[in-house]
Structure 1
């Protein structure tokens, strides 16, 4: 029979550290931890173990990597508080993971990740912080009576055929979606409550078929439930209140079964704290100091205008249309999304929705078709932001006969004025080309409140962007790699083809491919450090240096 091992710095005969106990623990062992804070990590492979907290026990792995990592193992955690910085708090690949009355806190990565056929059993567990709360990828299990709050993006992600049962669980204050189901996800949600999301309460995409029963979804900036094309599933007895309209959005090609859904869609003004949270998200973006200052100034002015109206004072007509200029990959689309949510949070726009279009969405093939298409796009975007990328292409002839781009510009000028109070149009493109675009109609420039110039990222900012992307994909940069990447970015030509953040993503993708080739030649099975570390050799191989 496996024995119980005691970890304590106070009791005679106990193991002083968790690592000491793990070193001698046999399969099936139980490790009991005395109250206190432990600056350690746990890695378990093809074994069985139980960790039990005897009081307030904190496992703090901030700066050390993931706090707990299991591979094809069976691990039970009871009563622990687990903290990390930019890494997952707990990660399980295959095997079985059980959490009872635990608290997980992460900084940037996912708080809890289960993958590769793993079975998760989480009961009475709290998840706070992190980019994502819980990620179930090709996994199964039960999440019961848990609380997920204050995550940056999605509260729960279910993907790659995962089919967990999630019941009696609350998800609050998700920066993006409460639950995101995609890539053939098949979860069951029962008696769950999803509130205060930055976008949709539940989003379903890419051939997924969840079952939603007796769930309550409210106070969402986006729709309550979004069912994407090609998706199905069951929505039964759910209640949706204070969401964007429609409460349940079923896209063309989707075929869910919806029964007994109670919807009370209400567009309401968000609390001021929500606006501050959105501004914090803006401030957390890399670089863009001038853009951030301009957006803050715009929001300050709108807030004061709101207070003046409430005080019965006069407020002049204000345009919310903007021009974004600069090279690609500088965050224009992300800032545009946040701008729409900020306007909704201030009560300036009804729903803060975001619709991105290009020339082909606006320009028709015959006389009258362009005006019809443009009007339809504006109607769809009403209440939120219409983002027109590479807007200068509207004033360029496509060649080969009649071109109706100018008709789209002229129609936009009229509709931007007609919909001034319910629509924000943002046009984006290269600086010089956008200046020429504004000259195509005498009234076009006057429709916009301000021009925001998005400067190219500096080499230091590109290194930071690359590091964030790597962390989110569970990679770390090896010794000396940051300095070498800085030199690489500093040597790139800043011409019209410079991609800014896209250069960082492209470089990381090349380094990951180089790492794969390097690991295949090791002659042994790579360990976790091998799999997660990118090296100088990978950079040299990716850049051909």
Structure 2
């Protein structure tokens, strides 16, 4: 570390925090907004120049330089102070150029400031801004003297260059002295910075190779350069401040424990966990708490052996390889693999070995466990030692659409590519769509962006080459809206359920087209209105009551419960309350396992499959089978798991329990949690004869067929009779109407195929009374 790192006063720390806040707000603005502000500043400067009679050209040059210096300071915070020194130098030289009789000679001094600043940043162990100031100060005096006529401009030019060279040489010698003093200083305290010359050789390091030189400022600058992740950056800055405070207490003579710790990184994939782990390694290394900034990355396969006993050996070898640096274990929860309901002895052995070494080697090793938050919480709860030794948790948030777009622009810039002007808003709209639907984590956050950038570049190359002729330089690097759309559609097509969501109007129109079910339609429209208003209130920052997410559908079979469930899923998806409109249909056999413990696993797997959409459980009352002596332990386990997930995942899942009314009432009464969580009930009535006739005619119309007049009268007569006799629920309501239509159409086809003359188009599409009566006799015989 440089001496300035050790003696930084509180005032400078406050100034740094203020600068970091300004920089955070700066990068929070879209690049288009930053450019617009820059243009506004230029126009304002020109307006002032015209108002006060200044030279517009000179004013424009000065303003552009100042804006450039400001952007440079935001992009490279470590050189912010140097930028200010160089900016002051530039201003002084320009002021003197306006007054001197030899402006070309003095104008040459404009290059001296940036050159001195660049050289100063190559001289370590002393602050670069101070080196730049010392190098330029004599030249500033000479420039002023030339400006007021006391000195020739040529003399001032060469004098400033010579004095800068001497000052830089002096600062280089002082830097060597500072480094020698720091290297020779004794450090009895445990948290003092260790001498870098004592670093042992690491694997892959050449004999006699010097360890890398990294400062805390450089490591934090890498972190600040990452897009988004503001909570993570704040937490890492706090960790660095804690280490610095511990070092200062030790230097003041207080007893201090080494500020080493182990971490848990939780968050979705592609949010920079591995990158931040490397930054943390550099920070601890820069403070002298680690011998190397090396990060060893591992997963379950790197720790677990093929037989008991081999796991401990394999885990110890991995930890030995990471000693002195950081061990990063991704998807750490996979070490406890209980997928088959049985304890994972190999994983448990790895965890026990890991815990022992985490304690024994805590002064020379940092371990980071990473993974999804819910899975990591369950993993840490599986062993008390994990929670106590891995107490520092860092949460990585999902990237926002604006941050995804910023990452896209950074990746494109690295490739030398650019987005077409109209491609940027189109891409932002697509990012907003996946964010609204909650699919950013599933797509992979920044990994998805990287894949998209590569696919869009490939689509552009194919388009440019296929067009023929010789493309221009601009065409070779410009990604258009069409390239982005093609790449986006290709990538998202691989993910389950990602497709265009029908609009709310389309979903409600399909509901209204259903025959009958007027009470159901009114209730679904009312639910939709409540959800829409709640969404509006939330967007305007108003308090919102807990929205209904889980439902009970009661009614006889064939009354459209599954169809309405699909429409409800489309409504929730259209309102942005679900990621996809998919409906996963299930019954008891899909939830209940064959032994205790397996049921919870099976139920959780089913729910995981339905996440982001609708889970529709038909005949849900069968989950509690009262016919078993001593109760239904398997069904009860399924219900308990279902209730927990209904609460835990209420923001990304809709569960619908369906069945006969009386049976569902008894089922809901078996557990108070069912009635409280499934408090929205929709009752489906039996169809009337008129509604059944309308269903049959609608089915015929969808198939391109029609009933003749007598056939329609026969249909009405049949449906009236079965409803009057109370047989319609047993026959399946709408299913009976479908079966009757399908049988009648089949009898028509058999009749036409048997006749000698070719059938006319009218005959091919008309179902007669004879066809209907034959179908009724066939179904009655069954």
Q: What do the CA deviations read for 1:173-209 (whole angstroms, capped 9, x no partner)?
A: xxxxxxxxxxxxxxxxxxxxxxxxxxxxxxxxxxxxx
For 1:69-148, list aligned pairs within 5 A.
none
Could you tell me which residue of structure 1 aligns to residue 300 of structure 2?
A: 359
What number of residue pairs does the alignment pair up?
313
Could you tell me which residue of structure 2 aligns to residue 341 of structure 1?
A: 282
Give the CA deviation at 1:523: 2.2
Give the CA deviation at 1:401: 10
- Kept after mapping to 1: 8 A contact 2:457/2:479: yes
1:483 equivalenced with 2:483 (yes/no): no
Selected match of 2:371 from 429, 450, 463: 429
Could you tell me which residue of structure 1 aligns to residue 334 of structure 2?
A: 393
For 1:422-461, list aligned pairs within 5 A.
422-461=364-403
Could you tell me which residue of structure 2 aligns to residue 532 of structure 1?
A: 477
1:468 equivalenced with 2:410 (yes/no): yes
Give the CA deviation at 1:450: 1.1
Give the CA deviation at 1:148: 11
- Partner secondary structure for residue 443 of structure 2: coil
- Kept after mapping to 2: 8 A contact 1:127/1:149: no
- Under a length normalisation based on structure 1, what TM-score does the superposition of the two structures give? 0.52
- Partner secondary structure for residue 370 of structure 2: strand
Report the CA distance shift for 1:464/1:358 in structure 2 as closer, same or farther (over 3 A): same
Q: What RMSD in Å do the two structures reach over aligned CA positions?
A: 3.8
Selected match of 2:201 from 246, 254, 263: 246
Q: What do the CA deviations read for 1:453-485 (whole angstroms, capped 9, x no partner)?
A: 000000000000010000000001111222111
For 1:481-520, list aligned pairs within 5 A.
481-492=423-434, 493-495=437-439, 497-520=442-465
- Partner secondary structure for residue 276 of structure 1: helix
Could you tell me which residue of structure 2 aligns to residue 408 of structure 1?
A: 350
Report the CA distance shift for 1:525/1:510 in structure 2 as closer, same or farther (over 3 A): same
Give the CA deviation at 1:498: 2.8
Q: What do the CA deviations read for 1:14-33 (whole angstroms, capped 9, x no partner)?
A: xxxxxxxxxxxxxxxxxxxx
Could you tell me which residue of structure 2 aligns to residue 213 of structure 1?
A: none
Unpaired runs of 5+ residues, structure 1, are: 1-36, 40-61, 63-104, 106-125, 130-145, 151-217, 220-240, 251-257
Q: Which has the higher helix share?
A: 2
Give the CA deviation at 1:243: 8.5
Report the CA distance shift for 1:409/1:286 in structure 2 as closer, same or farther (over 3 A): same
Selected match of 2:217 from 254, 267, 276: 276
- Under a length normalisation based on structure 2, what TM-score does the superposition of the two structures give? 0.37
Report the CA distance shift for 1:335/1:127 in structure 2 as closer, same or farther (over 3 A): farther
- Kept after mapping to 2: 8 A contact 1:327/1:498: no
Report the CA distance shift for 1:488/1:244 in structure 2 as closer, same or farther (over 3 A): farther
- Kept after mapping to 1: 8 A contact 2:300/2:334: yes
Q: What do the CA deviations read for 1:119-164 (whole angstroms, capped 9, x no partner)?
A: xxxxxxx9999xxxxxxxxxxxxxxxx99969xxxxxxxxxxxxxx
- Kept after mapping to 2: 8 A contact 1:389/1:427: yes
- Partner secondary structure for residue 264 of structure 2: strand
Mapped partners of 1:128, 1:362: distance in 2: 49
Selected match of 2:317 from 373, 376, 381: 376
- Kept after mapping to 1: 8 A contact 2:337/2:344: no
- Kept after mapping to 1: 8 A contact 2:296/2:326: yes
- Partner secondary structure for residue 385 of structure 2: coil
Mapped partners of 1:537, 1:371: distance in 2: 54
Report the CA distance shift for 1:278/1:479 in structure 2 as closer, same or farther (over 3 A): same
Larger mean CA deviation between 394-403 and 306-315 belongs to: 394-403
Give the CA deviation at 1:411: 1.1
Report the CA distance shift for 1:409/1:401 in structure 2 as closer, same or farther (over 3 A): closer
Runs of 4+ in 1 over 3 A off after TM superposition: 126-129, 146-150, 241-245, 264-267, 316-319, 397-403
- Kept after mapping to 1: 8 A contact 2:246/2:259: no
Mapped partners of 2:414, 2:117: distance in 1: 17
Give the CA deviation at 1:343: 0.1
Could you tell me which residue of structure 2 aligns to residue 311 of structure 1?
A: 252
Mapped partners of 1:379, 1:248: distance in 2: 12
Give the CA deviation at 1:369: 0.6
Give the CA deviation at 1:302: 0.7
Give the CA deviation at 1:441: 1.2
Q: Which has the higher strand share?
A: 1
